[in-house]
């Protein structure tokens, strides 16, 4: 009969073992670049059936206010990140929406996101109108957009009757 010795490892020991076992000696890894990106904060449904759609666009009736886009940091920061943005599109400031002043948003230190809220003016439309938010720059050496393609730098909100 064979005797087996049971070795008890703490979860930290197992984690360290897995980490070192998965690393190759000569591999180098690029650090995660600090970045901000913009997506929809569109919530559909109510209660436990609600779902969030993460896209670069959203649609809302002019009777619903405000148009909301969410700006995220990809890693939690110990400092505030201020993101400057521009507004364009076929919707007209002062007629279809009230332009925020200033056109910047600050993601506070220790938070993952901040919301850009653009008040929509309830006026009849002749066809759909768009509000396009384009991130221009971010503070503290944080890049705008994700990945080498710098995706998720613009957000389009379409106003419908």
**Structural domain boundaries in the chain:** 32-160
The secondary element (H helix, E strand) that includes residue 16 is helix 11-22
Task: Tell me: pLDDT of 116 over 80.
Answer: yes
Helix, strand or coil, per DSSP, at residue 15: helix
pLDDT digits (tens, 9 = 90+) for 19-67: 445 555 566 655 667 888 777 665 555 555 544 555 677 777 888 778 8
pLDDT mean across residues, the chain: 78
**Alpha-carbon span 133 to 93, nearest angstrom:** 13
pLDDT digits (tens, 9 = 90+) for 1-32: 555 444 444 444 444 444 445 555 566 655 66
Whole-prediction pTM? 0.72
Q: Specify the CATH number for 32-160; select among 3.40.50.720, 3.30.2420.10, 2.40.160.20, 2.60.40.2030.
A: 2.60.40.2030
- Burial of 34 by CB count in 10 Å (0-12 exposed, 13-18 middle, 19+ buried)? middle
């Amino acid at each position: 009969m064979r005797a087996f010795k049971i070795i008890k490892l703490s979860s930290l020991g197992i984690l360290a073992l897995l980490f070192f076992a998965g690393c190759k000696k000569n591999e180098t890894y690029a650090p995660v670049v600090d970045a901000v990106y913009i997506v929809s904060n569109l919530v559909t449904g109510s209660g436990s059936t609600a779902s969030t759609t993460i896209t670069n666009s959203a649609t809302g009736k002019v009777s619903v206010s405000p148009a909301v886009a969410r700006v995220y940091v990809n890693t939690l920061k110990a400092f505030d990140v201020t993101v400057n943005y521009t507004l364009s599109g076929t919707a007209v400031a002062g007629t279809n929406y009230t332009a925020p002043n200033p056109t910047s948003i600050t993601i506070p230190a220790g938070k993952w996101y901040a919301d850009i809220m653009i008040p929509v003016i309830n006026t009849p439309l002749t066809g759909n109108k768009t509000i396009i938010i384009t991130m221009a720059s971010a503070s503290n050496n944080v890049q705008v957009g994700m990945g080498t393609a710098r995706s998720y730098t613009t957000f389009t909100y379409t106003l419908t009757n």
